[in-house]
A = this chain, B = another copy of it.
Amino acid sequence: MTSVQLVEVGPRDGLQNEQILLSIDDKVELISRSVDAGVRRVEAVSFVNPKRVPQMAGAEEVMAQVPRVDGVSYIGLVLNRRGLDRALTAAVDEVNAVVVATEEFSRRNQGCSVDEGIAAAIDVVHDAREAGLRTTVTIAVSFGCPFSGEVAPEWIGEIIARLTDGAAPDEIALADTIGVGVPAQVRTLADLAAAHAPGIPQRWHFHNTRNTGYANALTALECGAGALDASIGGFGGCPFAPAATGNIASEDLLYALDRSNVTTGVDMYGLIEAAEWLGRSLEKSVPALLGRAGGFPDAR
């Protein structure tokens, strides 16, 4: 393994739980800074109900202003046909549909059962593909659930199989939504995904809530991950998941990847600057460590 895609999810997952609402211009600046640093896939917007997630309001205005750079792909989170229609109007390049793996969390987060969520994701993938968009399905709480605790990996395998049979998305993303996972689980889920969705690239989404996120990401890479989600500065969380603070930080992940000779095409120092800017905008200190610690020391 010598390269991996870094998917910058700061503009979506990084922001959605923040109390200070960023302006459209600030959201566009965050996205532009990530692109300037070399990121080529950005989860830029979410087409959810802005009454439920106020930070995600104005997705259309954001997409109207983002830099359209050759090779850069913008992802919009989409939960249903109505969201997909908005995504098509806003001209995103990819959609990310979400299936929540447990009943209680699915009802709270998506307002539907798991079965209904799977069916909705299959519909979104079909319709998005017909419209020419690249498609991902993310399986949330794949590593554990705040309401039901343990999540059997075999159940995640079954969801993967049903998604593959029903729609064969271009990518399957496994999400540790509340930051409880460990590398042993990553290996188990990677094997199950390879078995139930052969040939479909794997993307992984980790939170560092319990200091396992970076170990999980590096393990996913060993298991052949095509893409890793991370958020500038390590901001982020889920408004419906208690204590689900902290996506893994893009710059901290990049440090580990750079030092492991894994190429991403992304400049760590550009991300560190973007994180400092974002921290000022959100009036919060930056959770990521690289901005404070600095990169690997040069010889003096």
- What is the oligomeric copy number? 2
Interface size, A (range): 35 or more
The answer to whether A144 and B296 touch (CB under 8 A), given A182-B260, A260-B183, is yes
Contact indicator A211/B144 (Cβ below 8 Å): no
Binds B, one of A10-18, A89-97, A112-120, A286-294: A286-294
Chain B residues near A248: list those with CB within 8 A.
211
Contact indicator A212/B299 (Cβ below 8 Å): no
Chain B residues near A51: list those with CB within 8 A.
none
Contact indicator B144/A210 (Cβ below 8 Å): no
Main secondary structure of the interface of A (DSSP, over half): loop
Which one of A104, A149, A181, A210 has the greatest number of beta carbons of chain B within 10 Å? A210
Contact indicator A296/B149 (Cβ below 8 Å): yes
Chain B residues near A181: list those with CB within 8 A.
259
Chain B residues near A252: list those with CB within 8 A.
210-211
Contact indicator A180/B211 (Cβ below 8 Å): no
Asked whether A78 is an interface residue with its Cβ less than 8 Å from the other chain, the reply is no
- A residues adjacent to B (C-beta < 8 A): 104, 144-150, 178-185, 208-212, 214-215, 218-219, 243, 245, 248-249, 252, 255-256, 259-261, 288-290, 292-294, 296-300
8 further contact pairs, Cβ within 8 A, besides A146-B297, A210-B255, A210-B290: A104-B300, A144-B296, A150-B296, A180-B259, A181-B259, A211-B256, A212-B256, A243-B292
